[in-house]
A and B are shown apart, each in its own frame.
Chain A
Amino acid sequence: GAGVSQSPRYKVAKRGQDVALRCDPISGHVSLFWYQQALGQGPEFLTYFQNEAQLDKSGLPSDRFFAERPEGSVSTLKIQRTQQEDSAVYLCASSLVGGGGARETQYFGPGTRLLVL
């Protein structure tokens, strides 16, 4: 019955370091989304998985960003060679099924706050 969890909750990285952010969706949820939220702004879409398939990665800002969900459950967002502009809160959301029906409420995790120095 647990909600979406993310780890770590806070991450400080030096510019140029690689980071990995983890998302554990609600058990049984097919769809998983990653969003980036800059300070004082609304979240912006990064990428979408349906089970293990990455169906949309149009929001990834550069090829330094990579996401995977190899077994259709836990997902990892990896950022290589971090830059200061990558500082943001990274939110993960999951929903029960793929598709656009009324059951498609997205449930959000608490986010990972990334600070790149």
Chain B
Amino acid sequence: AQTVTQSQPEMSVQEAETVTLSCTYDTSESNYYLFWYKQPPSRQMILVIRQEAYKQQNATENRFSVNFQKAAKSFSLKISDSQLGDTAMYFCALRGNAGGTSYGKLTFGQGTILTVHP
């Protein structure tokens, strides 16, 4: 079984500052993918960033970057230069190798509500 844990129910940050959201996971698969999704109040889930477990280099997408610690099974998201539009619920998600029985289904954490203050 796969599990994803987000231990921060809520976070807040001032506009233009940096914030880090935490995520830990557990899986028995050797190859897997990790994702951060953003869900604004409109509820449309949007992919923020993706990390392939076999790649050691941390993924980066503009102001978003991850700190992937495979041995520790940790996958944190750093948002730099926070903007008001970053206010949303953020979900960490794990996807196993769809060549197995998981068929690529996502296992989500409980989410972290991020509020960016002006």
Residues of A within 8 A of B (CB): 31, 33, 35, 40-45, 48, 50, 55-56, 59, 89, 91, 93, 95, 98-100, 102, 104-111, 113
Binary contact track B8-52/A, C-beta < 8 Å → 1, others 0? 000000000000000000000001010001000011111100101
Cβ of B95 and Cβ of A42 under 8 Å apart? no
Min Cβ gap B46→A in Å is 8
Q: Give me the 9 closest cross-chain CB pairs, A-B, nearest first.
A: A42-B108, A100-B98, A108-B45, A45-B105, A100-B97, A48-B103, A110-B44, A56-B103, A111-B43
B residues in contact with A111, CB < 8 Å:
43-44
Cβ of B111 and Cβ of A42 under 8 Å apart? yes
With A and B bound together, what is the CA distance between A31 and B98 in angstroms? Answer: 11
Min Cβ gap A101→B in Å is 8
Min Cβ gap B60→A in Å is 16
**Contacts across chains A and B counted by CB atoms under 8 Å:** 75
A residues in contact with B99, CB < 8 Å:
99-100
With A and B bound together, what is the CA distance between A44 and B95 in angstroms? Answer: 13
Cβ of B44 and Cβ of A109 under 8 Å apart? yes
State how many residues of chain B have any CB contact under 8 Å with chain A: 29
Cβ of A104 and Cβ of B98 under 8 Å apart? yes
Is residue B106 within 8 Å, beta carbon to beta carbon, of the partner chain?
yes
Binary contact track B90-118/A, C-beta < 8 Å → 1, others 0? 01010111110101111111110000000
Among residues of B, the one whose C-beta sits closest to the C-beta of A113 is: B43
With A and B bound together, what is the CA distance between A107 and B31 in angstroms? Answer: 21
A residues in contact with B44, CB < 8 Å:
108-111
B residues in contact with A113, CB < 8 Å:
43
B residues in contact with A110, CB < 8 Å:
42-44
Min Cβ gap A29→B in Å is 12
